[in-house]
Structure 1
Amino acid sequence: MAIISSQALLAASMSVSAMLGAKSVHTEIIIPTSPENVWQVLIDIERYEEWNPAITLVEGQLAVGNSVTYRFQETEEKSANISSTVKVIEPVTHLNHQGGYWGIITFDQHYWLEPHESGTKFTIHEDYTGLWVNFWDSSHTQAQYEKMATALKARVLDIY
């Protein structure tokens, strides 16, 4: 009798959800400072309200396994509280949150920091799956993540 790992079950579950619908958003920016400096601003979620036009903390702390609730400002008129689970924290490199409702809409959000000849390449990449994805306009989220990346760059350069 074969034993199926929980990771294999999760991968299969995500594949089925993706068959119902899938989209992603992606943005990158070069920030002319070290990944360590960018990381310090990125993980200071209690100060997001001071600079982040897209996401502010409602409750929670960044630690693997923790639930964190953010307020996401999709448009000027539309915002929502979104809860996620912190899945990965690789200091100075990678932060990953996942959440949503399986089969309806799930998200898998990644922040990547990579050394670059001009400083740090900061990437936001988020994959969405589920039936609702077919009816959801992701362009607002794409625009907000672009604003967030630009605001992060400005904030980091103000501090460092």
Structure 2
Amino acid sequence: MFDRTVETTVDILAPPEVVWAVLIDNAAWPEWNPTLVKCEGQLEPGQRLAVTAHMPGRSAWTFKPTVLTVEPNSELAWRGSLPIPGLFAGRHYFRLETEGASACRLVHGEQFSGLLPLLMGGLLSDTEKGFHAMNAALKARAEARAGVAQE
């Protein structure tokens, strides 16, 4: 079995509550999110989502993960897999770590497992680029909501 994690971080000059509000408003993702361009469904544990991803240099695709964790102002996670056990599974997560009274760090990643990730080197690299792009867009939107001047 192969396991690989793609993990990115970004420091955001906004309280976790503000970042969380942007993150869980999945209906608004098409307005600002360059990577996860659409997310339909309830962000509640056990619920199934329809998420459309568009990684740099790749065509968009839709997958249907199940929500695992929704801890307000702290963590959102879901898991997707292929129907054949052991072939592919991914646990996508967003964690917010408090950095003082008015800032936080977003830890955004995915843990891949199964046989298929062995063949996904280029896609994993593009996934990391996509996560960085989403992080930057989330940072800009949350900081604008928090009244932080944009450079």
Q: Taking structure 2 as the reference length, what is the TM-score of the superposition? A: 0.88
Equivalent residue letter for 2:86: G
Instruction: Tell me if the contact between 2:29 and 2:39 (Cα under 8 Å) persists in the aligned partners.
Output: no
Equivalent residue letter for 2:9: E
Give unmatched runs, 5+ long, in structure 1: 1-18
Equivalent residue letter for 2:29: Y
Equivalent residue letter for 1:113: L
Is structure 2 residue 119 aligned with structure 1 residue 135? yes
Which of 20, 23, 28 does residue 39 from structure 1 map onto?
A: 20
Deviates more, 1:136-145 or 1:112-121: 112-121
Deviates more, 1:41-50 or 1:112-121: 112-121
Equivalent residue letter for 1:84: P
Aligned to 2:79: 98
Aligned to 1:155: 141
Q: CA RMSD in A?
A: 1.3
Deviates more, 1:22-31 or 1:114-123: 114-123
Instruction: Tell me if the contact between 2:13 and 2:103 (Cα under 8 Å) persists in the aligned partners.
Output: yes
Aligned to 1:116: 99
Per-residue deviation, residues 56-86 of structure 1 (Å, max 9, x unmatched): 2253121111000111002344111011000
Equivalent residue letter for 2:115: L
| CA–CA distance in structure 1, aligned partners of residues 33 and 129 of structure 2 | 13
Larger radius of gyration: 1
Instruction: Tell me if the contact between 1:53 and 1:148 (Cα under 8 Å) persists in the aligned partners.
Output: yes
Give SS of 1:67's match. Answer: coil
Give SS of 1:38's match. Answer: helix
Aligned to 1:145: 131
Aligned to 2:43: 62
Q: CA deviation at 1:33?
A: 1.2
**Number of positions where the alignment pairs a residue of Structure 1 with one of Structure 2:** 141
